[in-house]
Structure 1
Amino acid sequence: MKHVGLNVAADPFFSASYIGATGGLVIVSADDPGCHSSQNEQDNRHYARAAKVPILEPSDSEEARRFTRIAFEMSERFDTPVLLRLTTRISHSRSVVILKERVEHPIPRYEKGFAKRVLLPMNARRRHRFVEERTARLQEFSESFDENRIEFQDKGIGVITDSVAYQYVKEVLPEASILKLAMVWPFPDEKVKRFAGSVGRVVVVEENDPFIENEVRRLHLSPEGKEKIPILGELNPTVVADGLKIGFGEEDSPVVEGLPPRPPVMCPGCPHLGVFNIIKKLRLIAHGDIGCYTLGALLPLNAMDTCVDMGASVGTAYGMQLVSDKKTRKRVVAVIGDSTFFHSGITPLLNTYYNSGTGTVLILDNRTTAMTGHQGHP
């Protein structure tokens, strides 16, 4: 799922941490630095720490394959879900992948486990103790985990990095010493201390939030981080080089003119065009949702007033009807696609009906999940 999908799955995700995993349980979540197709830039590394589950971060396609296998092995070994965090750039790039022989695992026999799988308070308290003990064992594992590797070269500069940022550091500072963290939580405290004590200056290069940087500061170290590397947007070699040049005395890189922007538009012949033309003509207040029809908010249509998250259109429309005058209420509509309606639009519609709400819900049924994969749905 993408990063905001884990928000929807957060309730079972946190409970799964307590229950554990008899068989392997790996949650793949892809963050979207730069908001290429998302409503926020949230950093899902925080979920791993909050739910107390380990997280792995591949830096290329081969590591994505290999780390998936490692994640299942970790899940079964430590009785835990494992979060595999990708990013837009990892998911939309290609590199050499080394295939291995498929290993078949026998399906285990189901055994009842009331104390483990039924999270009544009496059981949850005991499982919490297990989670804390498991975290301590995962901490030890993180210290010796081979993928948390140190690459010593010039010890005047030491860079701590993760995910695709590792590739950018290798390109921009090929002679620097690097601590590449594949498992950023539980954090390998002692390995980080040893690395920091072996280099002159410590710099943290990571996308989005200063997750690693804050963990390093927790160890009473003073790394250079977000004062050089931006917290906003997606990193690339140019952004990293421009950020690090201040501290390393490099000359300013020339500014290269980019291509003119080409905002996306609805496809020619799209049936949604007629719907939004009518919404614009009638000057309706349209609460939109997540999907290709969100493009109705852009020019030349400019026919959508809000877009928050999947399923929000129906609830937002009902909420506005509650606080608006009679004339305004008649202009309020919710606009939602068929796949988003099945995803999370049914519950607010039931709530609207139960509370005798009025209004119009437009379900734009194009019989596919058009924006995110063309999967089938009911």
Structure 2
Amino acid sequence: MHGVASCQRGARAPGRHRLRARTIPRLAHNGRVNASDPLAALSALRTEEGSALLASLASYDPADELAVATRLRREHPADLVSAALGQARLRQRAAAKFGAEDAGRMFFTPNGVEQSTRRTVAAHRAERFAALGVRSVADLCSGIGGDAIALARAGISVLAVDRDPPTAAAARANAEALGLADLIEVRCADVTDIDTSGYDAVFADPARRGGRGRIFDPEAYSPPLSWAIAAARTRPFAALKIAPGVPHEAVPEDAEAEWISDGGDVKEAVLWFGTAPGTIRATLLPGPHTLTGRGLPDPAVRAVGRYLYEPDGAVIRAHLVAEVAEDVGGGLIDATIAYITSDELRPTPYATAYEITDALPFNVKKLKALLREREVGNLTVKKRGSAVEPDELRRKVKPQGPGAATVFMTRTAGAPAMLVGHPA
């Protein structure tokens, strides 16, 4: 990426655009619309006929799509039916991120569903902005408006910017559908054209996917991370959403870095400016539970004790395993493995605890015999630092019986090992 930042969420948007009313095509007098044109399809779906058609598909089963389409085309133009069915499928996919109620009222693009921030994560970030006293945010690379919606619901006025016309049109439609149009202004433009000087804060979510899939080099983001950091430094407060695998050395000294997980799945990392420079955090949702780095050295390696703690992925990404180990009075089972062991059971939201019944050198035959003896049929296989594939291991040990167990395929003090236990 050179020169101009793009922040393009859609698949086909050229260069720079400004979204005006006339760029959204109206239905022709015969009610027909080109369903392959995203702007035309969105416009059609927002008419009285299109809205009613979408509402009728709220709970349809995609497995019955052919029969449903055949029936609906008797009463509606074929292209409108195709557009409605496509949007209904996107709404069903989006329910996991936005909740069924919001998703059932919103409009999506395929990339918008894939790349949008989960509602719980966006709400957490919006609450942090609100707690800082932020009343206005320039949301650069806004996509279909997921973060803008959360910010507006926190009482913050938002300028939502995306250069892809169908994406920007969807963001505007979503602000209107959710009753937030008074707080969200949508602008279809290149983010480098935006004057953010009148806003308390900047939020940027650079595109991290390209034609070949996920982008790992921060300077290949669209816009590049260096551009987003420069934009962040122009305002009193800023937050930049980045990939959770970002190297720690790429975090600027004047930024706070926060890794966020939701329901145990790591969702993103965020660089905060104007908050606590140099601070490292791991935030777990729901909660939230936030663990702050204390600059501890790596924990010592010790023999496997009665309990094994599996830190949350956000804790691991934030390099805060040492903080959890100190909190539970434990050490590592191996210098390179993020499993903590202790003889004490200390409740913590930052790790899942297991009681270990057996610690064995790696040997599939011995494991199979042990599981047969314990009558274990419900077997959970976890791995860290092991080449063993869980499905392959299950086929080899053939678990049978009413019992349940968890086996960790890992290393202890550098040697392949099997730890058998159950949730504490």
Question: Structure 1-normalised TM-score?
Answer: 0.28
Greater helix share, 1 or 2? 1
Greater strand share, 1 or 2? 2
